[in-house]
Amino acid sequence: MTSMSTQSLVTLTDIRPRAIDDWPRYREEGEQFLRLAERAHEQQRKAFTPTILYNLVAMAIEKLVMAALMRCGRLPDNHTLHDLVAALERWLPETVRGLAEPLCRLDSFQDICDPYAGTITSPSAGEVHSMLILARKLEERLAVDTVVLSREHGGS
In a domain, 57, yes or no: yes
* Predicted model pTM: 0.82
Backbone angles phi, psi at 149, to 5 degrees: -60, -40
- Strand residues in the chain grouped as ranges (E): 110-111, 119-120
Give Cβ neighbours of residue 116 (< 8 Å, ≥ 6 apart). none
Give the structural domain span for 101.
22-150
| Number of domains making up the chain | 1
CATH number for the domain including 136?
Answer: 1.20.120.330
Reading the chain (156 residues) residue by residue, the pLDDT tens digits are 555 555 667 666 666 778 888 999 999 999 999 999 999 999 999 999 999 999 999 999 999 999 999 999 999 998 899 999 999 999 999 999 999 999 999 999 987 777 788 788 999 999 999 999 999 999 999 998 655 554 444 444
d(CA 77, CA 64): 16
